[in-house]
Amino acid sequence: MVRTRFAPSPTGYLHVGGLRTALFSFLYARQQQGSFLFRLEDTDRNRLVEGAEEDLIAMLKWAGITPDEGPGVGGDYGPYKQSERLEIYARHAQILLDKGHAYPCFCSAERLEQVKTEQKAQGLISRYDGHCRNLPRDAGLTRIESGEPYVIRMKIPENETILMEDLIRDKVAINSEQIDDQVLIKTDRFPTYHMAVVVDDHLMRITHVIRGEEWLPSFPKHLLLYRYFGWEPPQFAHLPLILNTDRSKLSKRQGSVSVEDFRKEGYLSQTMVNFIALLGWNPGDAQELFSMEQLIERFSFERVGKSGSVFDREKLNWMNQQYIKKLSPEELWDALAPYIQTTPFAGESPDRLKKVCQIAQNSLTQLKDIQNSLSLFFEDRGSTLSDPVLIEFLKKEESRVVLKAFLEQTETLETLEDSNFAEVMKQIQKITGIKGKNLWLPMRYAITQVEQGPDLHLMVGVYGKNKCRKMVEYALGL
Ligand code: GLU
């Protein structure tokens, strides 16, 4: 039975890279009818960020990535928060000490700093110099009993080749000389990530560890720990980096990176899931739009690339537009309502607001764009016509003839709606003899005040007779 996990540290808000790790782990578990776990790796107490845990859980829920086990969900392998498992790690550290695969280290921070400086001066890679590695066991015990602060380090074998197999990458070998005697338990008795992750993945029966490429350097240490404990390691898949368009590592400088920011800007969750799935995974054909169900069906590690994938914000916008277009009127209204609420137009009749939403639907890239559409529709924009091209066009004699004819034709009309607007335009054409662009553009420019935009008929319907006449009067007053 396949068991995967997403094991974030609550050191910040969920990043798109984290969302991808969670998504791939979820897709694979669902596809294999296995279980997907959420585990909170909160052992680095100095880096905890308030609210991060809640954000991680809320964002996964928003994306439709639902854990089968986890904090607040339950499961047979809990607790799922590492800070609640300290006793388990202590017990396992003792096993390693007893087997001689770990040792207590009493080196002070000052000493370690000094070693580092010396190594740096000699041009060496900085690593622990093994000062406490061969301390006799009894001597170590006495110092522990006397209350001296200590950490527990893992003993990396000398000059050994460690072979690493990954579902995405080719086999890689590394010499153990390049690996540091990693701290497993810190002076505060909390485990380091390396200790906790291995113990938990084993005890929680994880079969596939899916995580970002930045964890590759930790991989050999983890494999060694599995060996020291005498456990069968799970399979590993290290996902490629996510890059900016200039191929540097994805960073905030080039735009949002936290899932919450994308949500706030008005990217739909289906857009984010679809877009993120294609960062590294390639379906092997031209299809670009995938529902969660389709992703579950088609995901495979064979089709995950090794090289970094670019986070193309233009493509994200395009995709969001596609998904917004697909929304039913009710879904659209639900999605847009929070963005409408914060505008001065929130009090307009729901009927008119809904009409505006529908008119704007095809032109929205992000949900927050509805705010521009609302001001376009509801604000008195009489004096905001500033585009010289439009102004020049509206000032032409032929345009003025059309606009004047519009005022005449609508004066006695009871109402002006999208349904009778075409009839009015036909009349104007008949009377003036003006047709095509020269007939329609003056109306479009006068009423919408933009060169290209929403459907003119629908807009006339939302504005109604009085506002349309007012807009035309503004244009004639130029
Ligand atoms: N706690 C690690 C993180 O923050 C988990 C890495 C792993 O999946 O092994 O990403």
Taking residues 59-70, what's their average pLDDT?
97
Q: Nearest residue CA, atom 3 of ligand 1? A: 8
Q: What is the pLDDT of residues 127-183, one digit of tens each?
A: 999 999 999 999 999 999 999 999 999 999 999 999 999 999 989 899 999 999 999
Q: Is the pLDDT of residue 14 over 90?
A: yes
pLDDT, residue 455, reads 81
Per-position b or e across 412-421, b if 16+ CB within 10 A of its CB: eeeebebebb
Q: What is the pLDDT of residues 111-122, one digit of tens each?
A: 999 999 999 999
Q: Could you tell me where the DSSP H helices lie in 64-192?
A: 86-99, 109-121, 137-145
pLDDT, residue 383, reads 60
Expressed in angstroms and rounded, the spacing between residue 13 Cα and the centre of ligand 1 is 14
CA distance 60 to 67: 9
Instruction: Indicate the pLDDT class of residue 63, thresholds 50, 70 and 90.
Output: very high
Contact call for residues 257 and 316 (beta carbons, < 8 A):
no
Query: What end-to-end distance do the CA atoms of the chain give, in Å?
Result: 74
Q: What is the pLDDT of residues 324-369, one digit of tens each?
A: 999 999 999 999 999 999 999 999 888 789 989 988 999 899 999 9
**What's the alpha-carbon Rg for the chain, to the nearest Å?**
32
pTM confidence score? 0.88
Please give the angle made by the CA atoms of 163, 42 and 198, to the nearest 5 degrees. Answer: 25
CA distance 222 to 268: 37
Taking residues 369-394, what's their average pLDDT?
86
State which ligand 1 atom lies nearest to the alpha carbon of 11. Answer: 4
Expressed in angstroms and rounded, the spacing between residue 17 Cα and the centre of ligand 1 is 11
CA distance 427 to 405: 9
CA distance 298 to 203: 30
Mutual orientation of helices 193-203 and 219-229 as an angle, nearest 10°?
A: 50
DSSP of 189-232: SPBPHHHHHHHHHHHTT-SEEEEEGGGGGGHHHHHHHHHHHT--
Expressed in angstroms and rounded, the spacing between residue 8 Cα and the centre of ligand 1 is 5
Residue of 191, 110, 105 whose CA lies nearest to 153: 105
Q: Is the pLDDT of residue 376 over 90?
A: no
Please give the mean pLDDT across all residues of the chain.
94
Q: Is 42 a pocket residue for ligand 1 (Cβ < 6 Å)?
A: no
Instruction: Indicate the pLDDT class of residue 462, thresholds 50, 70 and 90.
Output: confident
DSSP of 242-304: EE-TTSSBP-GGGS--BHHHHHHHT--HHHHHHHHHTTTB--SSS-----HHHHHHH--GGGB
pLDDT, residue 382, reads 66
Active site residue 306: no
Please give the angle made by the CA atoms of 341, 53 and 291, to the nearest 5 degrees. Answer: 65
**What does DSSP assign to residue 14?**
P
Q: Is 9 a pocket residue for ligand 1 (Cβ < 6 Å)?
A: yes
Type of residue numbered 402: V
Q: Is 200 a pocket residue for ligand 1 (Cβ < 6 Å)?
A: no
Q: Is 211 a pocket residue for ligand 1 (Cβ < 6 Å)?
A: yes
Expressed in angstroms and rounded, the spacing between residue 16 Cα and the centre of ligand 1 is 14
State which of 198, 211, 226 you would mutate to test the pocket of ligand 1, scoring each by most atoms of that ligand within 8 A of its C-beta. 211
Contact call for residues 316 and 267 (beta carbons, < 8 A):
yes
Q: What is the pLDDT of residues 124-140, one digit of tens each?
A: 888 999 999 999 999 99
Contact call for residues 446 and 471 (beta carbons, < 8 A):
yes
Contact call for residues 12 and 57 (beta carbons, < 8 A):
no
Q: Is 41 a pocket residue for ligand 1 (Cβ < 6 Å)?
A: yes
Contact call for residues 154 and 124 (beta carbons, < 8 A):
no
Q: Is 215 a pocket residue for ligand 1 (Cβ < 6 Å)?
A: yes
